[in-house]
Amino acid sequence: MRKIAAIALSLFLWTGLASAGTFGHDRHHLHPQPAKKGHMIARFGIITDIHYTNKADSTSRKYSAGLAKTEYFVDVMNRENADFVIELGDFVDTLADDKDPIVNLSEIESVFTRFEGPQYHVLGNHDFDNMSRADLLPRLENTGIPTGKTYYSFDSNDIHCIVLDADYTVAEPHLPFDYPNTFWNWKDAWIPQEELDWLENDLADSNLPTIVFTHQLMHRDTTEDHTIKNADAVMALFEADGQVLAVFSGHDHRGEVAFRNGIHYFVLEGNVGMSLDWSEVSPTEGLDPVTDSPFTLVEIRKLNEVDTFNGLQTYQVKLNGNAQQYTFQDQLIIVEP
């Protein structure tokens, strides 16, 4: 088990809303600071809130571009030789007319699984708009994970990864979201005790730097609409364990970066839209599969900066954002055992 000192260094935050970059000939826009020398321990792609559906576009959500944007994400991650890819929920959305929800899911899943490496999913609230758990879960491929598991963990190179499922009602007995039941709404989000117990044990079993993936948010006040309502209990486990570097979430399409008690909390911008009029940030109004496809390539590096007297090790966390997705770089100091 490692301890994380609550220290953040060399903060750099660049928002793509001001100046978008893409993974192409102009990729240098995504590297405003050169990476320091050290050992790369993880390199993975994240996309969130695709909301794939056949319903009509709105000014803030361009559903019709979802398939092409996902294709571009997968193409980039294959070209970049990412260790794995993960989507953070709301993979699909409510359907129009009588389109078969299984067909709709298979269309976007078949594109996502073209990635030439491990692929993972986080469950979002909209994933149950048209499909029951019994229909949905067997059709989502999580590499090496038993079918039907909604929270799980895996190791990739030199990091430990944890996927959590907060799609449970706040009201007891904390029922899992399902379709066609209407007992839940998008503001519900809860981690049940059984999952908390599993999480505590999973953290204790690993000595690797850890990354956590959720759909709903952790770090805000638990009365806030997008936040897991017992997030304080979850974050207490992260902080007590001392090896969690970062938590990645979706759900609030606007995006955000926060730092709390030694842990970074990254809320990534929605691929379908960022809760604002696309015409305000894009000359193609959110329809271009390259320049309007927010996603990120995360790089985690163990730096060659060791304080031998105090036993400190520095790690660098870097997000290379595509299009409107922000790019970010920071460091965390780890107290080695």
Domains of the chain: 39-314 (3.60.21.10)
Backbone angles phi, psi at 79, to 5 degrees: -65, -35
**Per-residue pLDDT for the chain (337 aa), expressed as one digit of tens each?**
544 443 444 334 433 333 346 765 343 334 434 555 688 999 999 999 999 999 999 999 999 999 999 999 999 999 999 999 999 999 999 999 889 999 999 999 999 999 999 999 999 999 999 999 999 999 999 999 999 999 999 999 999 999 999 999 999 999 999 999 778 888 889 999 999 999 999 999 999 999 999 999 999 999 998 999 999 999 999 999 989 999 999 999 999 999 999 899 999 999 999 999 999 999 999 999 999 999 999 999 998 766 555 667 788 999 999 999 999 999 887 655 4
Task: For residue 177, give the H/E element and its range.
Answer: none
d(CA 202, CA 226): 25
Q: What is the DSSP letter of 235?
A: H
Q: What is the DSSP letter of 330?
A: E
